[in-house]
Structure 1
Amino acid sequence: MKANELRSKGATELQDELIALLKEQFSLRMQIATQQLNNTSQLGRVRRDIARVRTILREKAVA
Structure 2
Amino acid sequence: MNVKEIREKSNEELLKDIDSLKEELFNLRFQQATGQLENPSRMKDIKKTIARIKTIITERTLSDAK
State the TM-score, normalizing by the size of structure 1.
0.95
Query: What is aligned with 2:5?
Result: 5
Bigger CA radius of gyration: 2
RMSD of equivalent CA atoms: 0.7
CA distance in 2, matches of 1:11, 1:38: 32
Which residue number corresponds to residue 26 of structure 1? Answer: 26
Give the Å deviation of 1:61. 1.0
Q: Deviations over 1:15-47 (max 9, x none)?
A: 001101111111100000011101111100111
Structure 1 gaps, min length 5: none
Sequence identity (%)? 38
Moved over 2 A (4+): none
What's the TM-score, normalizing by structure 2? 0.91
Q: Which runs of 5+ in 2 are unaligned?
A: none
Q: Superposition pairs for residues 1-63 of structure 1, below 5 Å?
A: 1-63=1-63
